[in-house]
Structure 1
Amino acid sequence: MFELSTHIPGPKQLHEIDLSAYDALYLGDYTCPLYPGNFSRNIETLAPAVERVKSMGKRCYLSLYAIPKDSDLIWIKELLQGARGLPLDGVEVHNMGLLRTVREILGDIPIHLGVFGNLYTHETARVLKTYGVERVFPNAELSLEELIYIRDHSPVEVIVPLHGKIPLAISGTCFVTDYTGQVPLHCEESCSQGHWLTHEEWELKSIGRANLSGKDLCMLEYLDRLAQSDLNLFYIYTLGETGAYIETAGRVYREALQKVGSNGEVRAAQWLDQLRSVSHSGLCNGFYFGVSGQEYLSPKALSPIA
């Protein structure tokens, strides 16, 4: 069995996109509280969203703002107070301060450490476990061997991103706002379109307050290896992406994961074509194999994962 999850920032995506491929949803855009209807910011949108997700038979996690200042703690605490009693399956945080706040307000609810929690070692994971963290997104720069080592040497679950633009940096100010000199009237549309930072063949994508890799991480051809390593918590990066991207990536990976160990290779080329069709800058393997995050390596060229 496996779990395939992604982030859904607001009501529009939740209601208009086919999310049937996903087993679990992280509700909220953890990069920007100003995103319209952001589940990470508004109890008015969060409560009905949780009800809808649970009615779909999916696990539901609340994702909190990644880099709060003291002034943000006021509304975050109000959000958590309002979330009491909601059938959440967990809460994602990115720093120790919010970890403590969640524990104080929501009790023993499972806590997940987000990607900007910057977890690099199993020792950190062991410490976090004592504070109630059950699951972690390791730092995106770690290799697969390092992810597996953390899983094997700490009492926490490890999430393995399979696809999408890798989060590289986050800021408390918006790139789009700074560039235009005014808050966009339709920032949801602006973020989904993306803003590209380019130099010759090198690209990054900005979604306002966060910068992402230009190329899409793609682990489609390595699913058998991941399964052989007993990895089963999978995730797709989709913040700032279109509905077509979210649906296509989810459908392809669900179909491929269900074929692991059987005849999945028969459709690998077709699946890759579908993923490339929604990719702006092409595919890469991120940092999983100890090389630059821009490269895509052939599975035949690599030895089995340790």
Structure 2
Amino acid sequence: MFELSTNVASPQQLRRGDFSAYDALYLGEFSCLSYPNNFCAHPEFLADAAEQVHALGKKAYLRLFAVPSNHDLPTVRKVIEAALALPFDGFEVHNLGLLQMLKEMGNTKPIHLGVFGNLYTDATARVVKDYGVTRVYPNPELSLDEAIYIRDNTPIDVLIPVHGKIPLVVAETCFIHENSGGLPGEDCKFKCAQEHWLTRASGDWSLKDTGCMTLSGADLCMLEHVEKLTAAKLNAFYVQSHGESPEYIATVGRIYRDAFTKAFAGETEGDVQPLLQELSGLAKMGLCNGYYFGDAGRRYVGRT
């Protein structure tokens, strides 16, 4: 009745993680091709990955690099060529050029438009539908009502993030590498494996930096609004887990799996405070509702 998904960057993460709560996995670290053993950049890993995910009884979606320059296209093309011959359940793209490339290469698999596709309107959703897009990740600045409007007014599904840090900015160059003495073209030391925070001197806000991508400091949390999501007949939900620990991925997945299962069965959720405390313990900068309720991303609105 619903699909709960999250992201997995590499074979090592796929082996080490507990993804039992999820129905589908988005494979690949879309913000940086240099990420170690990134599914986005290593076609030699794809056959085993698809087999492993399907053996777990889950769908396998391949993420393509979000911000390819001309010099990246040969790598991306090799990844697509390999994936087209494998039983992936779909591709995720963030770039109109890659939509055209998939079309020219004869792709018949479903395509999902990712967060950096910057989809704001139902008009854009209808345009990308012509390229084979079946699901879109609305821009995080949209309210929940606007995302539902896109779903209701286009022949296309929407992916609703329910937990995790909100992707805000992606860039071709690495902020961490440049600001730790690294030179252009120099081998990356993967300092992004450690946590990096951009914090205002007053300490009243922080953002998380992963090198080529900046995310919100606080974790989006929609646990208290699961019944609202199911009442709107939404059915595709996503946990943003980039850079998070295996414990985070397993715990968040378990909590939302249980909440959505109850909601779709018509059961009313009881006291969620213990679960919120558990989620808060995993969120270094606290919880928020993003832009879902018309706010600027940082406020948390509980169930009313």
Q: Given the two structures, how large is their TM-score scaled by the length of structure 1?
A: 0.94
Q: Which residue of 1 is the match for residue 50 of structure 2?
A: 50
Distance 1:159 1:150, change over 3 A: same
Deviations 1:66-86 (A, max 9, x none): 010011111111111122321
Instruction: Check whether the contact 2:119–2:139 (CA below 8 A) recurs between aligned residues.
Output: yes
SS in 2 for 1:213: strand
Q: Which residue of 1 is the match for residue 206 of structure 2?
A: 203
Distance in 2 (alpha carbons) for counterparts of 1:112 and 1:286: 22
Shift of 1:174: 0.8
Q: Does 1:14 align with 2:14?
A: yes
User: Aligned-residue CA RMSD in angstroms?
Assistant: 1.3
Instruction: Check whether the contact 1:103–1:109 (CA below 8 A) recurs between aligned residues.
Output: no
Runs of at least 4 residues of structure 1 off by over 6 A? none
Higher mean C-alpha displacement, 283-292 vs 257-266: 257-266
SS in 2 for 1:161: strand
Which runs of 5 or more residues in structure 1 are unaligned?
301-306
2:289 to 285, 289, 292: 285
Shift of 1:6: 0.9
SS in 1 for 2:105: helix
Identity %: 49
Give the 5 Å matches for 1:125-204. Answer: 125-182=125-182, 187=190, 190-199=191-200, 200-204=203-207
Which runs of 5 or more residues in structure 2 are unaligned?
none
Deviations 1:20-62 (A, max 9, x none): 0110000000000001110011011222111100111101100
Instruction: Check whether the contact 1:129–1:156 (CA below 8 A) recurs between aligned residues.
Output: yes
Aligned partner of 2:302: which letter?
Answer: S
Distance 1:106 1:83, change over 3 A: farther
Aligned partner of 1:236: which letter?
Answer: V
Q: Which residue of 2 is the match for residue 251 of structure 1?
A: 254
Instruction: Check whether the contact 2:168–2:216 (CA below 8 A) recurs between aligned residues.
Output: yes
Instruction: Check whether the contact 2:66–2:94 (CA below 8 A) recurs between aligned residues.
Output: yes
Distance in 2 (alpha carbons) for counterparts of 1:286 and 1:193: 25
Instruction: Check whether the contact 2:177–2:188 (CA below 8 A) recurs between aligned residues.
Output: no
Shift of 1:104: 2.2
Shift of 1:253: 0.6
Q: Does 1:102 align with 2:102?
A: yes
Higher mean C-alpha displacement, 10-19 vs 190-199: 190-199
Deviations 1:157-212 (A, max 9, x none): 0000000000000111111101112367652xx43432000012110000110000
Aligned residues: 297
